[in-house]
Amino acid sequence: MTTANAARHQASMSKLKALLVSNAGASALVLRVPLGVILAAHGSQKLFGWFGGYGLEATGQWMASVGFAPGYLMALMAGSAEFFGGLALILGLLTRPAAAVAAFTMLMAMTVHLGNGLFVSNNGYEFALILLAASLSLVFSGGGKLALDNQLAKS
């Protein structure tokens, strides 16, 4: 490996470690696990119709009806972000990227509910807002001491 290539490799490894390393301690676990469970459950509703969900086809039709077209693709993307991102958050695996994708998904969810006001009892955006805030917190803090990210950072 040339000196220039070695320097580029070292720089990219440094960036990867910065993405994975977290000084959040155990507090991130307290946020990651419930957030991950909620996201994975909601994603499974969209993808598989579990827990009273409608599955991809019906969720896709609804997404198209509220302006997210093509609906099936949007349902697949949102469901995957929630389900697989939620699982990643539970494990603390690629926490920051998973949380960033979840945050974006919640931001998009908020756009559907904004016209209904804050409260979820009126189909408002409060649930999406708190999930957005929790996700953004993990983007900044990382997975914490008890996350698989730490094992990746060591290698």
In this structure, what token pair is assigned to residue 94? 């690629």
Neighbouring C-beta atoms of residue 141, cutoff 10 Å: 19
Contacts of 12 (CB under 8 A, 6+ apart): none
- pLDDT tens-place values along the chain, 155 residues long: 677 776 676 766 677 787 888 888 899 999 999 999 999 999 999 999 999 999 999 999 999 999 999 999 999 999 999 999 999 999 999 999 999 999 999 999 999 999 999 999 999 999 999 999 999 999 999 999 999 999 988 87
CA dihedral 9, 10, 11, 12 (to 10 degrees): 50
Report d(CA 28, CA 149) in Å as an integer.
Answer: 12
Helix (H) or strand (E) holding 107: helix 95-113
Q: Model-level pTM?
A: 0.90
